[in-house]
Amino acid sequence: MAHAVHGRYIWDPAYRHAARTLTAISRLAEACDHDTVSNATRLINSRVTAIMQLPAVDLEERPRKHPGLCTQCGRCMLSTYPRSGRVACLGCGLKGQIMPGTVSDGCVQWEDGTIT
Ligand SMILES: [Zn+2]
């Protein structure tokens, strides 16, 4: 964002000045266009999610790749979150909830209403 606003990169080791850096990001976002802010938001969110998924932090569950096919798009891009019982397709964004079974292995209730 600094490049988009000032036309040059400003190198300053941000890890020493985290609070100042976050304040600068907020100020720079006001002067940037929507695409630049969306891109910066996506980058920051991915870093925050990665930190929250670290085993020492463990504030967010790491997804596990599932070998099954998605019921909506048919691609093999399913991820499961065993602790919370969620399942999601990274291809089409379909989400579902794993319903554990008492007699069978259980099923998945998808947000579009289908049960598999
Ligand atoms: Zn899908």
- Quick: pLDDT tens for 28-58: 889 999 999 999 999 999 999 999 999 999 9
pLDDT in tens, 56-68: 999 999 999 989 8
Cα of 22 to ligand 1 centre, how many Å? Answer: 35
Interval between CA 62 and ligand 1 midpoint (Å):
19
- The per-residue b/e assignment along 72-91, b for 16 or more CB within 10 angstroms, e otherwise, is eeeeebbebeeeeebbbbee
DSSP the chain: -HHHHHSS-----GGG-HHHHHHHHHHHHHHS-HHHHHHHHHHHHHHHHHHHTSTTT--SPPPEEE-SPPTTT--S-EEEETTTTEEEETTT--EEEEE--SSSS-EEEETTS-B-
pLDDT at 103: 76
What is the Cα gyration radius of the chain?
20
Say how many Å lie between the CA of residue 69 and the centre of ligand 1: 8
Q: What is the pLDDT of residues 81-110, one digit of tens each?
A: 989 999 999 999 999 998 887 777 788 888
